[in-house]
Amino acid sequence: EAGVAQSPRYKIIEKRQSVAFWCNPISGHATLYWYQQILGQGPKLLIQFQNNGVVDDSQLPKDRFSAERLKGVDSTLKIQPAKLEDSAVYLCASSLAWELRGYTFGSGTRLTVV
Amino acid sequence: AQSVTQPDIHITVSEGASLELRCNYSYGATPYLFWYVQSPGQGLQLLLKYFSGDTLVQGIKGFEAEFKRSQSSFNLRKPSVHWSDAAEYFCAAGSGGGADGLTFGKGTHLIIQP
């Protein structure tokens, strides 16, 4: 089966600019996650969708981050305005609802804020 | 608060030698436990998972892990490492059937000496 697709692979922006990342999950996967992985750390969950509804966004910095999953398939994560500390790899993952196989992760988008 | 601890930031092992990577968790109840591997510039690949039952879990690439409730540990082992095993290894824990957000450790960087 095709994996989780993410784009772009790399992005460099200046602080205070805006940026958007795109994720296409595995076909049929109802649950979609966005994680932030700062260099030298493990991934941290930002937001979890079940179909097109938000299940958990408790760790999403809502003053600058937003995410949507229209039609319960693709998802977009946006940062506006970006800060230096937002430099990280943004990973998207998907899973079948209540599927006990664990997630499938995409390759991520590496964001550098200068 | 839920947490996952990987005490070793770096581990160096000679090729052909055995390997053990440590993971301890702190959760309200027995969590679902995972080990992921991440090669440079790549996404996370699931090595193995534990939900219930047999406490010794077999995974891909010759890895296994043992769940020890009394020690709140889920250590990863491999009897003989290969140079291709050099990567970052993450232990993660979750609840809710494995479909909820995961809490990751900070990772252990594995270096293989020839």
pLDDT the model gives residue B96: 64
pLDDT digits 0-9 by tens, A28-51 = 888 899 999 999 899 999 999 988
Q: Which residue numbers of B have CB closer than 8 Å to A's CBs? A: 4, 32, 34, 36, 41-46, 49, 51, 90, 92, 97-107
Closest by Cβ to B44, choosing from A41, A100, A105: A105
Side-chain-facing half-sphere of B105: CA atoms under 13 Å:
30
In chain B, which residues have pLDDT < 70? 96-99
pLDDT the model gives residue A98: 55
Which residues of chain A does B97 touch, with a Cβ-Cβ cutoff of 8 Å? Answer: 98, 100
pLDDT the model gives residue B53: 85
Which residues of chain A does B107 touch, with a Cβ-Cβ cutoff of 8 Å? Answer: 40-42
Mean pLDDT computed over every residue of chain A: 92
pLDDT over 80 (residue A19): yes
Q: How far is B44 from chain A (nearest CA, A)?
A: 6
Q: Long-range CB contacts (< 8 A, 24+ apart) of B16-19?
A: B16/B80, B16/B81, B17/B80, B17/B81, B18/B77, B18/B78, B18/B79, B18/B80, B18/B81, B19/B76, B19/B77, B19/B78, B19/B81, B19/B85, B19/B110
pLDDT the model gives residue A12: 98
Contact flag B104-A42 (C-beta cutoff 8 Å): yes
Terminal Cα-to-Cα distance of chain B (whole angstroms): 41
Which residues of chain A does B41 touch, with a Cβ-Cβ cutoff of 8 Å? Answer: 107
pLDDT digits 0-9 by tens, A73-111 = 999 999 999 999 999 999 999 987 555 566 789 999 999
Contact flag A99-B105 (C-beta cutoff 8 Å): no
pLDDT the model gives residue B95: 79
Mean pLDDT computed over every residue of chain B: 92
